[in-house]
Amino acid sequence: MDTRQTEEATTQEHGQHNNQHNQHNQELAEKDRRYVWHAMARHTEDGPPAPMMVESGQGAWVTDTAGNRYLDGMSGLWCVNAGYGREELAKAAYDQLVKLPYYPLTGSHEPAVELGEKLNRWLDPSGQSEYVIFYSNSGSEANETAFKIARQYHEQNGQTDRWKFVSRYRAYHGNGFGSLAATGQAQRKYRYEPLAPGFLHVQPPDTYRCEYCGGRAAGNECGKDCAVRYARQIERVILYELPETVAAVIMEPIITGGGVITPPQDYMAEVRRICDETGVLLISDEVICGFGRTGENFGFQNYLGSGNKENAPDIVTMAKGITSGYLPLSATAVKREIYEAFAGTGLYDNLRHVNTFGGNPAACALAVKNLEVMEKEELPKRSKEMGEKLYEELEEIKDHPNVGDLRHRGLLFGIEMVEDKQSGAPSQEKTAALLAACKKRGLIAGKNGDTVAGYNNIVALSPPLSLTGEDLEFISGTLKETVADL
């Protein structure tokens, strides 16, 4: 066979392979439409649209079955903090699966103990605070567990009427009947109510649309006065409801899925003070803010510091970044003095809560390795530094007439899209256009979808903390080009 014939044969083989590959992708897409119900997806009588079918990931990038590469600016769902393709994480899970694939935490196993010790070091490197860890599988479950613990804690102390919880509008805390009740997003609740009773909501500390100083929309920066006044809304609800009926306040240090709402610096400390004065527990929901996302180990450390036992949250819930999304795992960390209230020999003194897969040995072993990787590579510190650099790169987009605000902590970003700067009216149309244009250029960004009617207008960014300098330049360049073309 001569060279020309060889080339023709090779071309023909490639063509056949591509046809087979395309046919396989079409069949896969059809089966997907037939058998898989996708989160948040809409569909018509013709069925749902075919979603992007992701095949592989490496670093900050994913590749779909058609061979297209995208920088995943959302780390999946805010969770692949250490990046895709970490063989050491997969190996940690594999080794544990071979050794002991499963045992419930009605007993114990070494990975759960080792992870509990390591989480304590992340929560308080000084060792002043000590937490006892209850493992679950998701952030929703971690928060549901926290609610049960808080209610029973007060019961154990003879305060049997403390059963209510205070949360904020626009915050998301999960999809269970308790965690969704805590959520302050009406569009996520509609047609599922009535939910669990006892969950109360207050105004979020929105530093862009501040109801006290006007916020950045009016050219002002919220200071301590605004922080105190927002926190006093929580205090007012506690007093109106009677403090002896309120069990806990639950809050993300930064409201994430509801629009990346960054509070005034003194806000969380003021909430901590109010909780102390009223005997109410403080639950910090770190499902997204934790594990380096905001430039600290946990989000609360940006506002309450680290190593101060009195300031530390009473309960800390976490998930997502705990394994960088490689396996399902969550945790509810409870201060030891709260845990000790469950001591006793009475029939109902113990926490009667069990989770079949919570604290799975492989997930715990993977989480330990994940935290070791994050420590070795100083990913929380990297998040802070890369976040500052990306913010500086993106500052010029703030001048665009449809960009109302640009805000961030670490590698957690929110871009508020508006009709115009004068009115500040939210623009969901511009948000959708920006997201679509970014994806065409190879950047996956997110938004606060189906949260509060009229306010689903924030483009969100939450890339892997391990992203490279080139990755960061791609994000900033793509966003600047896309915004300029609006």
Domain limits of the chain? 87-376, 379-485
The span from the CA of 103 to the CA of 138, in Å, is 18
In the chain, DSSP finds a helix count (H) and a strand count (E) of 15, 15
Contact 162, 154 (CB under 8 A): yes
Cα separations in angstroms, 87 against 77, 83, 84, 94:
21, 11, 9, 10
The mean predicted confidence, pLDDT, of the chain is: 95
The span from the CA of 322 to the CA of 291, in Å, is 7
The span from the CA of 364 to the CA of 92, in Å, is 9
Q: What number is the average pLDDT over the span 105-122?
A: 98
The span from the CA of 171 to the CA of 412, in Å, is 15
pLDDT category of residue 49 using cuts at 50, 70 and 90: confident
pLDDT category of residue 3 using cuts at 50, 70 and 90: low
- For residue 409, the model assigns a pLDDT of 98
Cα separations in angstroms, 388 against 162, 369, 433, 472:
42, 27, 26, 11
- Helices 110-123 + 361-376 axis angle, to 10: 40
The span from the CA of 58 to the CA of 69, in Å, is 10
The span from the CA of 228 to the CA of 264, in Å, is 9
pLDDT for residue 486 is more than 80: yes
Lowest mean pLDDT among 20-24, 207-211, 327-331: 20-24
pLDDT category of residue 218 using cuts at 50, 70 and 90: very high
* Residue in this structure with the two tokens 């006007």, named with its chain if needed: 214
Q: What number is the average pLDDT over the span 287-315?
A: 95
Contact 400, 146 (CB under 8 A): no
Percent of the chain at pLDDT exceeding 90: 90
pLDDT digits 0-9 by tens, 313-362: 999 999 999 999 999 999 999 999 999 999 999 999 999 999 999 999 99
- For residue 429, the model assigns a pLDDT of 97
Question: What count of other Cβ atoms lies within 10 Å of the Cβ of residue 96?
Answer: 22
Q: What number is the average pLDDT over the span 147-156?
A: 98
pLDDT category of residue 309 using cuts at 50, 70 and 90: confident
Tell me 84's DSSP state: B
pLDDT digits 0-9 by tens, 159-184: 999 999 999 999 999 999 999 999 99
Here the tokens at position 200 are: 């109360």
H-helix or E-strand containing 13?
helix 3-35
Question: What count of other Cβ atoms lies within 10 Å of the Cβ of residue 173?
Answer: 32
Question: What count of other Cβ atoms lies within 10 Å of the Cβ of residue 14?
Answer: 10
Which neighbouring-strand residues pair with 443?
A: 71
Supply the pTM of this predicted model.
0.95
Type of residue numbered 99: K
Strands 69-72 and 443-444: parallel
* Upper half-sphere CA count for residue 338 (Cβ side, 13 Å): 31
pLDDT for residue 1 is more than 60: no
Which neighbouring-strand residues pair with 405?
A: 416
pLDDT category of residue 240 using cuts at 50, 70 and 90: very high
Candidates 113, 23, 74, 20; CA nearest to 367 is 113
The span from the CA of 92 to the CA of 349, in Å, is 37
- For residue 319, the model assigns a pLDDT of 98
Q: What number is the average pLDDT over the span 46-75?
A: 92
Query: For 87-376, which CATH class?
Result: alpha beta
- For residue 372, the model assigns a pLDDT of 98
- For residue 46, the model assigns a pLDDT of 72
Domain 379-485 bears CATH identifier 3.90.1150.10: yes
pLDDT digits 0-9 by tens, 401-444: 999 999 999 999 999 999 999 999 999 999 999 999 999 999 99
Residue 432 CB partners (closer than 8 Å, separation 6+)? 447
- For residue 5, the model assigns a pLDDT of 62
Here the tokens at position 413 are: 């970003």
